[in-house]
Structure 1
Amino acid sequence: MAPVIHCIRHAQGYHNLSVANHSMPDPTLTSLGKEQCENLAKDFPHHESIGAIVASPLRRTIYTALYGFKSLIERGMPVIALPEVCETADVPCDTGSDIAVLKEEMKGKAVDLSRVKEGWNVKTGKWAPTANAIEKRAREARQWLKARPEDEIVVVTHGGFLHYFTEDWSDFNKAMGTGWRNVEYRSYKFADEDGENASLVETKESREFRRGSEIPLTKEERMNLRETAKKTWEEGGDLHPVQAVQAKV
């Protein structure tokens, strides 16, 4: 059976404090961000069921996973860095560090960087800040996760990318660049009827926890919302639509 995926947006990073900080390369967590991780460690209800911890290789996501899931890491569970779930834009704050820098910084920490290869942080080709490229690697990430043997997996990633990853644009906020709050978590199952796309569907419990009782959107409705979001970006200014939004995330 395919695993349940618990998606989490990273804790507050320095780039979240101001537009000027978007020029910071691969920023780490603020003091408030670390406090948010402590709260995540206390409040996340599924610690005992988690079989794997996966995170984007950017510093803010790695540290969110290290701090937020400290109890699991102390039992020997590493953070698996998965570059396919990295952030979408090519602004400095959304561009990861070179692999040599990451290896040096994570030395002695429970972080598995084996999937992070040279060039993962060059925003061209597979990593380009375009809708097609982002959708493709989001699908690759879902396929990889779907094939995992664990029953439940945590994925710590980014607000903008999460809309592509979950294919859910229902609460997309143009002003914020995402509908996800820092350290917000939502739980998903893989759709039974979907094949290679490996689509995710939010669990009833997760949806009700966030919004109360409501009927989930159909796949067609979710895709229509996605197209509306893209059109909104394209009408919003001179930046590439993804960059225009992700500069705020």
Structure 2
Amino acid sequence: MDAIATPPLYQFGRPKRIHLVRHALGIHNVEPEKSRDPLTSFEFFDAQLSPPSWQQVLEQRKYVRESGLLDKIELVIVSPMSRTLQTAVGIFGGENQPDRLDVTHVEMDEISTTFKSRPPIIAYELCRERMGKYECDKRGSISQYRSRFPAVDFSLIENEDDVLWDPNERETFEAVKARAIKFIKWLWERKEEEIAVVSHGVFLQQAMIQLIENNNRYTLPLRGHPINLGRNLNCFLLIDDDDPCSRFKNCEFRSVIIAHER
């Protein structure tokens, strides 16, 4: 694979910067990796964040404010699950949230009812985790989420209850890849130029793989990858990451720039 010089951004038209964020540590994430069987228990239904994970959330909240990133992001897209909603509201929510690191689940949910988000946060079903079998990946009703997270816009969710989750069959990786491609194209067509996406480990990893695989250009520290977003666009993906296809850590940020060449 031959290295090429990364073109300067002024050579591109309509660059779009996407900040991908995996949810903070959920109660289901502390289960032993050697066995996923406990996750079929209703105990893990729509898994919440674990108590220690609020430190991850609030440290990232501090980062986006002190770095100025919060002022640049025009929109936050979030998977409609408790752990992603808690993470999105905790990181990108209003200024009246506490900065201490021992905030509890109940306190954070109560705090989320007292402000309007800046930037706006929109829930979108397409960026959910791989669905089926595991109770942790089954969502609750939208009316419950609206009550808990009134700052979040749920208007893009078509069904009140979860009609996508299958108790008997796990969604295939091929289906997740197809959703990832559809989601990327949907992001590309939006008017916002700087967007944060709060989602899940498998979905985010598959999205990165779909953006990068089958490309033949490679540069460091930024990597320029031609990608197909339809409409005959000659696009490049610029990634500031040495291993973009690795699994996201809990509450990890990973940023990419998508642009088409002039």
- TM-score normalized with structure 1 length: 0.66
Give the match's secondary structure for 1:31. Answer: coil
Q: Which residue of 2 aligns with 1:204?
A: none
Is the aligned partner of 1:100 residue 2:168?
Answer: no
Identity value in percent: 29
Alpha-carbon distance in 2 for matches of 1:164, 1:120: 22
CA distance in 1: counterparts of 2:143 and 2:116, whole angstroms: 25
In the TM superposition, residue 18 of structure 1 has moved relative to its aligned partner by 1.5
**DSSP-derived class of the 1:84 partner:** helix
Q: Distance in 2 between matches of 1:94 and 1:2?
A: 33
| Distance apart, 1:183 and its partner CA | 0.8
Q: For residues 90-145 of structure 1, what are the alpha-carbon distances to aligned partners after superposition, in whole Å with 9 as ceiling and x for unaligned?
A: 11111212333323433xx2011111122555236xx9611222122111211111
Aligned-pair CA distance for 1:43:
1.8
Higher helix share: 1
Q: Which amino acid aligns with 1:12?
A: L
Contact 2:129–2:199 under 8 Å retained in 1: yes
Deviation at 1:165, TM superposition (A): 1.3
Q: Rg bigger for which structure? A: 2
Q: Structure 2: which 5+ residue stretches go unaligned?
A: 1-13, 33-37, 96-114, 214-242
The partner residue of 1:35 within 47, 55, 78 is 55
1 CA distance for matches of 2:198 and 2:255? 12
The 2-side partners of 1:84 and 1:128 are apart by 16
User: Which one of the candidate residues 84, 88, 113 is aligned to 2:126?
Assistant: 84
**In the TM superposition, what is the alpha-carbon distance from 1:186 to its structure 2 partner?**
0.7
2:248 to 180, 197, 202: 180
How far off is 1:70 after superposition?
Answer: 2.0
Check conservation: 1:8, 1:155, Cα contact below 8 A.
yes
Q: CA contact under 8 A between 1:7 and 1:155: conserved in structure 2?
A: yes
Alpha-carbon separation, structure 2, partners of 1:6 and 1:136: 20
Q: Secondary structure at the match of 2:76?
A: strand
Indicate conservation of the 8 Å contact 1:2/1:147, yes or no.
no
Is this contact kept in 1: 2:73–2:119, CA < 8 A? no
2:15–2:259 Cα contact (<8 Å) kept: no
From the superposition, tell whether residues 33 and 121 of structure 1 become closer, same or farther in structure 2 (CA, over 3 Å).
farther
RMSD: 2.6
CA distance in 1, matches of 2:170, 2:25: 24
Deviation string, structure 1 residues 195-240 (Cα, Å, up to 9, x no partner) = xxxxxxxxxxxxxxxxxxxxxxxxxxxxxxxxxxxxxxxxxxxxxx
In the alignment, the residues of structure 1 paired with residue 83 and residue 163 of structure 2 have an alpha-carbon distance, to the nearest angstrom, of 15
Aligned to 2:156: 115
Structure 1 residues 37 and 82, CA gap change in structure 2 (3 angstroms): same
Opposite residue 208 of structure 2, the aligned amino acid is: T
Deviation (angstroms), 1:31: 1.8
- How far residue 150 of structure 1 moved from its aligned partner, in angstroms, is 1.5
Aligned-residue offset at 1:146: 0.7
Q: Which has the higher strand share?
A: 2
Cα separation, 2, equivalents of 1:76 and 1:8: 17
Unpaired segments ≥5 residues, structure 1: 173-177, 194-249
What CA distance in whole angstroms lies between the structure 1 residues aligned with 2:142 and 2:84? 15
